[in-house]
Structure 1
């Protein structure tokens, strides 16, 4: 609880942004440590201005943090500070991750995640892409992350729930506010079967400033962003740009050049986005789509050593040194890995192993 309160308190200090906060945590490990660090040490590492902001902060901010925490309990919302092990690992990697996340529902399944975004005023083409490709993604266990906005976001959330999939909605406002209000039932269903996320304090209303911040979280949470349909000037392209800046994959579908609601799609492809024409195309770029846990072990009759290595690798590309370290001499790593490559369970590139 103290770490949550300390993180909230720092988030309320005007003048300390997400980039500075991340660097403070990297240096001092926890928000509690930051608040307990003396002026000289803060000044030496982050300058006099930051040191002044922290040491001479308004003492009422602690009371404000406590009230925020009490609201979270009231609304059945978890507050996850950046320093927590439960904070999404991919989101931690971006330059300006939120200091805290407000979470309603179960935050999991991010190892096989994809962001899906698009215009509010979609065409029949956008509807077709959602009902065909996004539907297949959901059926194959991909976590669909979107923004609960009208249009493509809403369609993506709904088709995922319809297919009994897992979806995450990232809000551009406080987690206690439903926007647009027409999505109230969808909000409630996602909070029960998936997860709602916001970085904004309770009561924060949506604005032209909050939505771009929301978009960076959508991009930062996942391995890639799939733009369904976007005009030339679109928030979806902002999300795609964030994904590209973070080194994540950007996907889109080619569009008719006369379709004004999707001119951004073709612009993205010109800039290097991966064109998608069917669900199968994703298998070339998302390794977790090629592994189905429910029947894989039965078909291949994996040994305990092979199962252990699959657990170590997960859905990532893992370097051989990490695998050796995890095995810790329990068995001959190279023999087992070679056998798994021969079986077609794993592939290897320059010492990195991943599911085939």
Structure 2
């Protein structure tokens, strides 16, 4: 058996998890050798008890790996292992990366930002989550969240409204989507991005799974935006993982009287970047043109407009007056307006412009 399938098989053994799977591979030298081990050999590995050895044998004896592969083929579900070239590079860097991730949809080489928050948001929180997700998705950013009620589902919907990419990381198997009322949203996400889980296909939505899946949400992302989070919430657990992983943390300010905003307001007090508009997120990463995806790409630019653009480095802010020092005709300002409408330029305060792409 090859190492990829062996990793998938090891991932089916309840009680192993990323740390113990890594220990097995270290002890035996490869995933395939670990998969071929006997119960007696498993017991020789530090940290492996009788129960794990028996479950390991039962998984092999009952043909659970073969059954999992059959279901995956029938349902159109793929998987990536940490050995694969296509495994997300950012996720590979985190502590205890999942050895296997199941994927329904398609992962791309995208620039990812996570948007998470409370399951019981205010109307303000819902609006902010959806509008921010929509705006950054229009710029080509993939929105990562957890398909939970509230802020998470609003973030996914915002990205979908923009016809952009979004990834949902589940705390259950991909055939046990939770909550059930979001199954329709999950199907939309499959078409425009991907559903992702480290858990075998039929794993139920157990409460202990959700905190651990949060490390994958932050692990896939360059930064995490918190929109309304109580002090004790899953979103704050995601912040813990984000800080551990060296990810950027952003927060939307909320009412000082709202329990839903206690966590996000505290984060701002402690140094998280306060975010007032979507561009606050994008500008944190330098030239927005690196991942700008304009929805009017079919609009050609004239030779004159192209010559003007060629003078402007992508992402650099320049004074309009300085650009037109020797020529202040209205024609030049018209070119700026047209290029702005076509998504190539953005006006900046102080009579300046920035080229986006």
How many angstroms apart in 2 are the aligned matches of 1:114 and 1:190? Answer: 16
How many angstroms apart in 1 are the aligned matches of 2:3 and 2:275? Answer: 43
Does residue 1:106 correspond to 2:106, yes or no? yes
> Tell me, what secondary structure is at the counterpart of 2:189?
helix
Note the aligned Cα RMSD (angstroms): 3.4
Query: 1:288 deviation in Å?
Result: 6.1
Q: Deviations over 1:267-289 (max 9, x none)?
A: 11123211111122123422463
Query: 1:152 deviation in Å?
Result: 0.8
How many angstroms apart in 2 are the aligned matches of 1:228 and 1:56? Answer: 41
Does residue 1:222 correspond to 2:224, yes or no? no
Does residue 1:123 correspond to 2:116, yes or no? no
> Tell me, what secondary structure is at the counterpart of 2:168?
strand
Q: 2:141·2:291 contact (CA, 8 Å) conserved in 1?
A: no
Which shows bigger deviation, 23-32 or 123-132? 23-32
> Tell me, what secondary structure is at the counterpart of 1:238?
helix
Which shows bigger deviation, 227-236 or 61-70? 61-70
Q: 1:173·1:204 contact (CA, 8 Å) conserved in 2?
A: yes
How many angstroms apart in 1 are the aligned matches of 2:86 and 2:28? Answer: 19
1:118-157 correspondence to structure 2 within 5 Å: 118-157=117-156
Q: 2:129·2:158 contact (CA, 8 Å) conserved in 1?
A: yes
Q: What's 1:11 paired with? A: 11
- Compute the TM-score of the two structures, normalised by the length of structure 1: 0.74
Q: Deviations over 1:54-86 (max 9, x none)?
A: 899516427211111111111110021221111
Q: Which has the higher helix share?
A: 1
- Structure 2: tracts of 5 or more residues without a match: 298-305, 313-355
Q: 1:116·1:153 contact (CA, 8 Å) conserved in 2?
A: yes
Q: 1:115·1:218 contact (CA, 8 Å) conserved in 2?
A: yes
Q: What's 1:199 paired with? A: 198
How many angstroms apart in 1 are the aligned matches of 2:35 and 2:199? Answer: 21
1:203-352 correspondence to structure 2 within 5 Å: 203-287=202-286, 289-291=288-290, 299-300=309-310
Q: What's 1:326 paired with? A: none
Q: Deviations over 1:166-201 (max 9, x none)?
A: 000111111012211111211111111210011111
Q: Deviations over 1:306-356 (max 9, x none)?
A: xxxxxxxxxxxxxxxxxxxxxxxxxxxxxxxxxxxxxxxxxxxxxxxxx99
Q: 1:3·1:81 contact (CA, 8 Å) conserved in 2?
A: no
Change (3 A) 1:14 1:187: closer
Paired residues, what number? Answer: 300
Q: Deviations over 1:12-51 (max 9, x none)?
A: 3455331243466578885225446899x999xx954559
Q: 1:224·1:250 contact (CA, 8 Å) conserved in 2?
A: yes
Query: 1:108 deviation in Å?
Result: 1.2
> Tell me, what secondary structure is at the counterpart of 2:268?
helix
1:38-117 correspondence to structure 2 within 5 Å: 47-49=45-47, 57-58=56-57, 60-61=59-60, 63-110=63-110, 112-117=111-116
Q: 2:4·2:83 contact (CA, 8 Å) conserved in 1?
A: no
> Tell me, what secondary structure is at the counterpart of 1:200?
coil
Which shows bigger deviation, 56-65 or 115-124? 56-65
Query: 1:133 deviation in Å?
Result: 2.5
Change (3 A) 1:35 1:285: same
Q: 2:133·2:156 contact (CA, 8 Å) conserved in 1?
A: no
Query: 1:135 deviation in Å?
Result: 2.1
Query: 1:11 deviation in Å?
Result: 2.0
Q: 1:25·1:83 contact (CA, 8 Å) conserved in 2?
A: no
1:153-192 correspondence to structure 2 within 5 Å: 153-192=152-191
